[in-house]
Chains A and B, each alone.
Chain A
Amino acid sequence: MTDNKAAKQDAEDFRAAHAKIKTEVQRFIVGQEPVIDAALTGLLAGGHVMLEGVPGLGKTMLVRAIGEAVDIGFSRIQFTPDLMPADIQGTNVLVEHEGGGHEVTFQQGPLVSNLILADEINRATPRTQSALLEAMQENQISVAGRVIKLEEPYCVMATQNPIEQEGTYPLPEAQLDRFLMKIVVGYPDEQDYEAIIDRTTGGEDPEINKVSSGEEIRRYRRTIRSVPIPQRVKQYAIHLVMGTQPGSDFACGLVNNAVALGASPRGAQGLMLAGKVRALLDGRFSVSVDDVSKSALDVLRHRVLISFHGQAEGVTPDNVVEAVLQHIKPPTD
């Protein structure tokens, strides 16, 4: 009975914390509620988030707001073509002592923090992008003969611009796969524009209070991983992931024709984690098929690589995921 109540309390705390952080962020960001939910899902579920959208939609501001609402280390890296791995990981530098003499000391880069804003990540070279791989997957950095364990919670929120592709370096599949979600930020609604204008051109600057901490985030992450998954939902998630893989038993015609590479097992992990957050936010203690299907687009879209044939026919990853969702039915028995 006690365990039961503790679980309910944890779920309630999670919902409350999520609501508080969301409220604080929404003081800064107008509209974009699904985007805020997805970004917080990534942070709370222990994943990394990719935000994609045209300039001026508040992607960077959203991450900054989350970093300010949660009392954790926050660092921003503006990715440019001349950014080197040592610039973000850290490097040995020669330091002159006050009393005379020199010493080589390690100066850690901005990657050593809790919440990393990798702004315009596709502007950096693949070499620098790859410097993020170990940090994102292993939560550690191997640099200058040492291994730096990154402190939990660790979350990379990257932004990228889908246009102006000249002079950019598309992220490799290995790195894209490490993002739990890819959120497409769209234009705000008509009514949101008025609020944006009022807030940004007025005399008052909204201030964001810190409503959560790193310790709480770590606890919520444990809570999320405690949510059980029914067998039916597991099967459904597996079928969805396999449905994106061309040539599999669950692949539909569009996948076989237009997809070069489907989602990996990380896709199924992402579906489960995102589904657990949704279930908790919905006041449930178990993941449902709806939780998985509603998370599928954000979790799977960047894991689907469209073939040349598909690109020629104008097929997008979103088309593929939607086709898979229509094709795969939840198992009934």
Chain B
Amino acid sequence: MDPSDDTTLRDELHALATPAGDALRAHRVQRSRTAAVPRAVQLLVVAPLLYLVLCLLLRGLGVDFGMAWWIVAALSIPVPVVYLGIAGERAGKAPISDVAALTLIDDGLGLQDRLSSAREYLDAEAPTPFMQAAIEDAHNHTQQAQGFELAPESSRAQLSWRDLAWPAAGALAFFLATLIDSPAPTHAGPKLGVPAGDGPIAAAERLSTPDADITGRTEPKVQKKPESQRDPSSEEAKRGDAGVDSDRTKKSRGQIGRGKSSTAQSTSGRSSGDGEATDQAQPTKGGAEKPKKPKKQKPAKKRTAKKANKTPKTDKNSVASSGQGRGQGSSKSPTASDWTSKDQSIADDEDELEDEDDVDDEDEESDARGGLQPSLRQRKPPVNRDLTLGFGGGPPPPHANGRGGPGLPKKQRGVAQLVLGIPYPDQITGKPNAGRTKVTQERIEPQAQETNVVPAEARLERSSPLGHLSRPVLTPWMQDLVRAFQKTAQATLSETLNKTQKTNARSKHD
């Protein structure tokens, strides 16, 4: 392929790419603007928001700021429009190469990237034979691309609900700003102490509830003082009032929200009161009118039973405890006295629940044992374990039922029990019950015993002297005896040999 052909093809392709590039640029501008629409919609909130902030600032400074609403509405439109314009302008300024433009033609005409590839290969420093063939192939298809027009692209912006929330927020900001900016009906309102925004209905409500109004008005001023700057006399005066409308005081303080719980407030406020029950102190519901039932005779329930015996006193204490937080000079935090009210208020319910649970458990147990079992819940008072001083023989305690617990003599045993009331272990010597004897046998598994392993070796001839051999020294009489035995044996042997020889000789002669 000649270089002149290359130049011709380059010009042809450039001529094809120029209008395609313009069309592509227009597409890009359109596409970028479409893509920018959601952000532009979000920008609708800018002007109303600024308007709202401005109104709030000027209102705070006391400057009367009156701006016509239509000015703000008119200002809110240009911001997104300018944004769209900038986005489109930026996309339009991006350079478009001939290859990119020819790609559009290839795609539009189904040329399988012939033109764009050829344009790329034209710029190659050393085109290969196949590149040249591709360029020549593209040359044959340029006529086909003449007059190609890129189809206009119709793109529609996709707005989500989140995008639409922004203009809604702008409208809301605009509405609020309009409300703030509108002239107030009476400018003397704030001077009289009526908060801005309070209407006549709220004022009428305050008038109808004077106490609440008083606390509501006066408390904030008092609360703003620090703790150390409080006047004790004024505190005392307030406490006098607090006995009357303690609940309201408590509520109002709770509304102020100084970080203390309402329980703490009421507890400290009760210190000089008459002992009336507050909301936190337990009412006399479960005390004076209805004495507590004695609970189960479990050790854990003793305290509850004791409480039942001393119900009126306990109730009184409960009331007092709820009001004695500071009055008794305790260094504890007021909140520390909370346990009394909690304990008293919850005890009844918890015990009732436990009772029900226990009854259910016993029913289940008796069913599991296969029949009706005697009830273990006798509902009798527990054994009196009062270790008071006394010396035997007296009448049995009125609550004794004979079901365990130390009797009177046992109670009196030991100085410690008598004097100090310390439980003393009862030790009685005796023999154990002669019942069955359990014989246990241990089976001992044989265990390997570690020993030194002697390696086997061949037995060789002795090379060293045997050493000293002990010879038993016989007594003389035994030496004589042995000697006589040996002589007799030898004599007998020789005699036998002689007889044998003689016999043999006779037989030979015969």
Contacts and interface: CB of A to CB of B under 8 A. Distances in A.
Interface of A: 1, 3-4, 6-8, 11, 226-228, 230-233, 279, 282, 284-291, 330, 332-333
A265 to B, nearest CB: 23
A228 B113 contact: no
Cβ-closest 10 pairs across A and B: A7-B129, A3-B129, A288-B113, A288-B112, A285-B134, A285-B133, A333-B100, A286-B134, A286-B117, A230-B117
Contacts of B24: 332
Interface residues of B, number: 26
Contact of B120 (A11, A231, A279, A332): A231
Contact of A333 (B96, B113, B120, B133): B96
Interface in B122-181: 128-134, 136-137
B103 interface: yes
Contacts of B134: 228, 284-286
B121 interface: yes
Interface in B36-82: none
B322 to A, nearest CB: 60
Contacts of B118: 286
Contacts of A232: 99, 103, 113, 116, 120
A271 to B, nearest CB: 15
A118 B137 CA distance: 41
Nearest to A289: B113
Contacts of B106: 288
Contacts, number: 80
Contacts of B133: 4, 7-8, 11, 285
B130 A230 contact: no
A279 B114 CA distance: 11
B1 interface: yes
A291 B106 CA distance: 14
B97 interface: yes
Contacts of A7: 128-130, 132-133
Interface string B328-353: 00000000000000000000000000
B139 to A, nearest CB: 11
Given A3-B129, A232-B99, A286-B113, 13 more contacts: A3-B132, A4-B129, A6-B129, A228-B117, A228-B130, A230-B113, A232-B120, A279-B112, A284-B112, A285-B130, A285-B134, A287-B113, A332-B24
A332 B100 contact: yes
Given A228-B121, A228-B134, A284-B137, A333 B112 contact: no
A285 B137 contact: yes
A322 to B, nearest CB: 20
A284 B114 contact: yes
A14 to B, nearest CB: 12
B425 to A, nearest CB: 67
Contacts of B120: 230-232
A138 to B, nearest CB: 28
Contacts of B136: 4
A226 B131 CA distance: 9
A232 B121 CA distance: 12
16 contacts: A4-B1, A4-B136, A6-B129, A7-B129, A232-B116, A233-B113, A279-B112, A285-B131, A285-B134, A286-B114, A286-B137, A288-B106, A288-B117, A290-B112, A332-B100, A333-B97
Interface of B is mostly: helix
Contacts of A284: 112, 114, 134, 137
Contacts of A288: 106, 112-114, 117
A226 B130 contact: yes
B334 to A, nearest CB: 57
A286 B100 contact: no
Contacts of A227: 130
B107 to A, nearest CB: 8
Contacts of A279: 112
B91 to A, nearest CB: 12
Nearest to A3: B129
A291 B114 CA distance: 12
Nearest to A282: B112
B47 to A, nearest CB: 37
A3 B97 CA distance: 29
Contacts of B131: 228, 285-286
Contacts of A332: 24, 100, 103-104
A289 B129 CA distance: 21
Contacts of A233: 113, 117
Given A230-B120, A332-B103, A4 B132 contact: yes
A268 B82 CA distance: 44
Contacts of B112: 279, 282, 284, 288, 290-291
Contacts of B128: 3, 7, 226, 228
Contacts of B99: 232, 333
Nearest to B100: A333
Contacts of A291: 112
Contacts of A3: 128-129, 132
A1 B1 contact: yes
A279 B111 CA distance: 12
Contacts of B113: 230, 232-233, 286-290
Contacts of B137: 284-286
A6 B128 CA distance: 11
A235 to B, nearest CB: 12
Contacts of B130: 7, 11, 226-228, 285-286
A298 B112 CA distance: 20
Contacts of A287: 113
Contacts of B132: 3-4, 7
Interface in B256-291: none
A201 B1 CA distance: 56
A286 B121 contact: yes
A288 B104 CA distance: 13
A227 B133 CA distance: 10
A11 B220 CA distance: 95
Nearest to A231: B120
A330 B114 CA distance: 15
Contacts of B104: 332
A288 B103 CA distance: 11
A239 to B, nearest CB: 15
Nearest to B110: A290
A333 B99 CA distance: 7
Contacts of A333: 96-97, 99-100
Nearest to A279: B112
Contacts of A1: 1
B116 to A, nearest CB: 7
A296 to B, nearest CB: 16
B17 to A, nearest CB: 12
A61 to B, nearest CB: 34
B190 to A, nearest CB: 58
Nearest to A280: B130
Contacts of A11: 130, 133
Contacts of A285: 130-131, 133-134, 137
A134 to B, nearest CB: 32
B129 A230 contact: no
Give the most central of B100, B104, B114, B128: most A CB within 10 Å.
B128
Contacts of A330: 103
Contacts of A4: 1, 129, 132-133, 136
A330 B96 CA distance: 16
Nearest to B121: A228
Interface in B88-110: 96-97, 99-100, 103-104, 106
